[in-house]
Structure 1
Amino acid sequence: MSRRTTVGLFAAALTALMTTACSTVMVPVSPGDSSGLGRETVRVGIAYDSAGRGDKSFNDAAAAGIDRAKQELLVEAAEAKTQAETDEAREAALRGLATGGSNPVIAVGFLYAGAIGTVAKEFPDTLFAIIDDDSVTADNVVSLLFSEEQGSYLVGVAAALATRRNRVGFVGGVDVALIHKFEAGYVAGVHSVDPGIRVDVRYLTKPPDFGGFGAPAKGKTAAARLIADGADVVYAAAGGSGTGVFDAVAAAGNTWAIGVDSDQYATASEAVRPRILTSMLKRVDNGVFQEIQAFVKGDRAGGKKRYDLKVDGVGYATSNSKLGPYRSGMDKARYRVLAGAVKVPVS
C-alpha cells in the first residue's frame, strides 16, 4: 500500500470519528462525579400544569422550547403534568422528574412556586427553573421572567388602530398580578393611540379559583358580553379559555380577537382563524430553550433571567395578512419602547 493511500485512509477515519463525536451533546459533570466517564447526557424534565400539551397557548409554547432543544441540542426529555390543582400534585410531578434523573427540571407557571420551594430543597444537586415566578430564592432555582406588558402594549396599539367603535375589550383568565401586567400594557398601548378609546375588562375567576385559565365556556360568555356592550376588538390573556373568546368573536362577525402566548392564528380552527388579528407572543419557547442551552454549556446557577423586547422575549404575530395596515404603527411603538422613550406600566 502506498504512503499516500495510508494517509488518505487515516484522514477519512479521523473525519468519521470527529463526525460521530459531534453527534451527541455531552457536558462536563461536577468534579465529584464517580461514574468514571467524566461526561453526562443532559436529561431535561418539564412539568406542565393540568392542561399539558395541547392547550394551544402557554403550555404549548413551553413544549416548543423542549422540542427545539431535543432537535438542536440532542438532549433527552421527560414530561409530566399535574393530576390535580394542588401543591401536593405539583410536588409529585417535580419530585418524579428529579427522582428519574432529570436535570434541569422546568416548571411551567407561577402556580408551581410552592412546590418548587419544597422539592428544590430535597434535590440540592438538581437545577430547577420556574416560569413567571421569582418568589423562590435558592442556589438551585432560576426564575424565567417575561415582560408581558411590553408585548401587550404592541397589540394594544393594533387594537386601537383596528377599532371602529372606539371600544375594545380585555378578558383575563384569573385576577392575579401576572395577568394585570397584560392588562396594563394593553390599556397603555390602546391609549397611546387614542386616550378616548374605552377599554372594558373582565376576569373569569379570582384566587383561590385558578380555573379561569381552562374554562372556554366562561371565556365565550365574557367575550360575548363585551361585544354586546360595544367592543369590536377583544384581547384574551386567559390561557385555554381563549378558545371560547375566539368562538364568541367569530360568531359576532366584524369583530377582532387578539390571542396570547403563541401564534394562535396558526393553531385556531378554520371557523375562527380569519377573526384572529394577531397574538401577543410570549416567547416561553425561547426562554425554555435558552435555559437548557445555558445548562448544557455549564451554567448551573440560580437567580433571575428576564426576557423582554430587547432579547425577543415578547412580540407579536404577523400570520394574518389583515394586520398589514397596522404593522407600521406597531413597529413605531416597538422602537419607542426599545429606545426607552416609553416605559410600559405593569399595573
Structure 2
Amino acid sequence: MTKNDSVPIGLDEFVKLTNIAHWIYRIWTIAFILIGLTGNFIALIIFIRWANQLSVYIYFSFLCIINIVILLIDMNYHFLLSFILDDNILVKTLLPITCKFIFFLTYLFRYLFIWTIVVINIDRFIYLNEHSFKKKFCQRRTAKMMCFVLILLSFLANWHFLIYFNQPIITEVPLDNTCFLDGLTCHCTSLNTAYRSFWKNIWPIYNLMIFGIIPLVTMITCCILIIRNIYLTRRRIFDGRRNSDVSVNSKNHNLRSIIKTLIWLDLLFPITIFPSLSLQIYINYQSPKQCEKIGIMNLVFSLVFAMMYIKNTFAFFIFYFAGQQFRRALSKLIHCRNTFDYTESR
C-alpha cells in the first residue's frame, strides 16, 4: 500500500477496478439473497414433510436451514452491508459490537454446511450396504443426533473467535490516495500477539484442511463407493438374481435422485470453494503492492467470492433437476395438495 501525499502510480486504474468490483458485490449479493431465500424456504417445506419417511431428508432440511442462515448473516454482512453502509457507521458503530460474533457465526455455518454434505455421503454409503450397522445409523433419531454433533464440533473448531476477538482493533479507512485490498480497510483482530501469529500463519492451513481437503477426500471416497455399490447391485440383477434383489432395486430407484444431488453438491464444493481459499492463502503470504494489481485483485475477489455462495443459493435448482420426486412434490405444493408420496421409511 502507498500512503504518500503524491498520487500513487496506477491509482486511476485502481479506483475504476475497485468501483466495478463494489458494484459487482451489490448486484450478486442482492440477487443471491432473493433467489436463495426463496428456493431454500420452498425446499425446506418439502424436506420437512419427508423427514418422517426417510432419514436423509433430515440432513437436507438441516442443509436448507444452514443455507438460509449463511445468506442472511454471512453473505449479507460481508458482501452487502460493507458496500452500502457509510464507512463511519460500519467502522465506529457496527464492527466493535458484532466483530467476534460475525466471524464465529460465519465459520460455524460454513463448516456446518460442508460437513453436513460429508455426513449425507456417509449415510447413503452405509445405507447401500447390507450391514446391521445401517439399521442404527440410517435412522431419523441418529440423523437428528448427528446434526447436533456437527453443531458441537463446529462450535469447538471456531470457539477461538469468541475468546480472542474480545478486544477487536478496527483499522480506519485509508485516505483517498491509498490503494487497499477490499476487506483490509476495516477488519477485526486481537490484541493477543500469539493469536495474531496463529491467524496469519496457521489459520489459513487449518481452515484449508478442515474446510477443504479432509471433507473433499471423504466425499469423493464415499461417492465412488456409492456409485460402485449401485453398479454391483444392477449387475447382480442382470446376472439373473432378480427375485432376491427386487427390494434393493426399488431402494436404488428411489435413491438415484439423492445420489444425483450428492454428486452435484460434491462437484460444486471444490469448484466454488478452492479458488477463494487459494486466493486468501496467497494474499496472506504475498499481498500485491502496486495499485493496478491491487485493483485487479479486488475485481477478482468480487467474482471469486460470488462463486462461494452458488451452492447455497442454487441448492433448490440442484434438488429440482436431480430428483423427479422433488419436482412432483413441488407441483403438489404449488397446487396446495397435502399428499407427499414416498415409499421408503428409513
Is TM > 0.5 for Structure 1 vs Structure 2? no
Higher relative contact order structure (alpha carbons within 8 Å, sequence separation ≥ 6): 2
Kindly indicate which of the two structures has a greater share of residues assigned to strand: 1
TM class by smaller structure: under 0.3
TM-score, length basis structure 1: 0.25
